[in-house]
Structure 1
Amino acid sequence: MKRIIIASVAAAALATGGTAFAVASDGTDSARSSSPAAASTGASLTEAASAALKAVPGTLDSIDRDHGRWEADVLGKDGGWHEVTLDANGKVIDQRVDPDDNDPEDAAEAKALRNADVSAIEAARKAASQSTVTSVEFDGDRTPVWEVETVKNHKERDLIVDAHSGKVTQAPADDDSGDDD
């Protein structure tokens, strides 16, 4: 289940000149920003993830904030792939079973996701040091990893979090040569 995620720069980082940061948690408490202005921008990644998992119990595959909304993909306990859309405040506004995710590649992705030792929220927490996490996505194609996008001082940074060890590394630079293969 390979998805291209285009994450917008978090409104909190823009509104506060890039001084906001969020630290995701394990779900027992909510992520908060260091800036009072950023606190009014809506739900944190942790809060949105919790709301998505409440709507569709299962395992979070990806979550990102795009155009003021949170979009989450969940591997439901029913074995189906679900898309959950939440407003900026973390309220579920749409949820549906993803009809496009029923091929053998998705079964392999589901197995890798279920076997991950590090959850999406844990990956976000590990990558969020002094920055705002705007996107977390599982990639189980080769070595299972979480791809985490962060923003700090108006600059996006892509990080890789190993789905088993939790080790955080810088993602390789994008190849803009036009070859998507």
Structure 2
Amino acid sequence: MKRNIVIASVAAAALVTGGTAVAVAGTQSSSPAARSASPAAASTGASLTQAADAALKAVPGTLDSIDRDHGRWEADVLGKDGKWHEVTLDANGKVIDQRVDPDDSDPEDAAEAKALRNADVSAVEAARKAAPQSTVTSVEFDGDHSPVWEVETVKNHKERDLTVDAHSGKVTQAPADDDHGDDDSDDD
């Protein structure tokens, strides 16, 4: 019981101070190594930066996107081998699945890869620029027109979508989605 109160207090303090670490819910391990880690690290799991580093260690290359989904980190990496890789990490940043993307034969992928390789700002740098006082939940490269990083953040329970220019690092508010409730389920 005392441990839960301490963990809750540390998590609350981190949120109140507006730290730049990515706050995510996770489960605490009962291993001796986990117990010796700091309470904040044990309660929040891996930060976006830690998950990105682990994904790039598993697949050397350039990070294309990373997001937190159902308690896991999902990362797409353009490997040094020229192939697109999907890397799944657990809440603590440990790689639990890694595979070559089976849908990487799209001709648009070559243009996306070139734009991604030419970006001056990395995914992690874009996250830091977009949300110095917020929680980043997703970073994704968009090289369709002018290359930008699409960054989703949460602060005080409010979600914001920002874009970060892949060359200058300039942060702007993303245009509002105009999907009017469309959930992309029209391919019945």
- For Structure 1 versus Structure 2, the TM-score category normalised by the shorter chain is 0.7 to 0.9
Normalised to the residue count of structure 1, the TM-score between the two structures is 0.80
Q: Deviations over 1:89-113 (max 9, x none)?
A: 0000000000101121000000000
2:178 to 172, 175, 178: 175
Measure how far apart 1:176 and its partner are. 3.1
2:135 to 132, 135, 142: 132
Percent of aligned pairs sharing the same letter: 86
> Which residue identity lines up with residue 171 of structure 1 in the other structure?
A
User: Structure 2: 5+ residue runs without aligned partners?
Assistant: 1-7, 24-37
Q: Structure 2 CA distance, aligned partners of 1:163 and 1:59?
A: 13
Report whether the alignment pairs 1:162 with 2:140: no
The residue number in structure 2 matching 1:77 is 80
Q: Structure 2 CA distance, aligned partners of 1:52 and 1:22?
A: 23
Normalised to the residue count of structure 2, the TM-score between the two structures is 0.77
Aligned residue pairs total 158
Q: Structure 2 CA distance, aligned partners of 1:87 and 1:150?
A: 20
SS in 1 for 2:52: helix
The residue number in structure 2 matching 1:90 is 93
Q: Structure 2 CA distance, aligned partners of 1:21 and 1:157?
A: 16
1:54 to 54, 57, 82: 57
> Which residue identity lines up with residue 115 of structure 1 in the other structure?
N
CA contact (8 A) 1:19 1:153 kept: no
CA contact (8 A) 1:70 1:90 kept: yes
Measure how far apart 1:20 and its partner are. 6.8
RMSD: 2.2
Q: Structure 2 CA distance, aligned partners of 1:103 and 1:46?
A: 29
Shift in alpha-carbon separation, 1:19–1:175, aligned structure 2, 3 A:
farther
SS in 1 for 2:102: coil
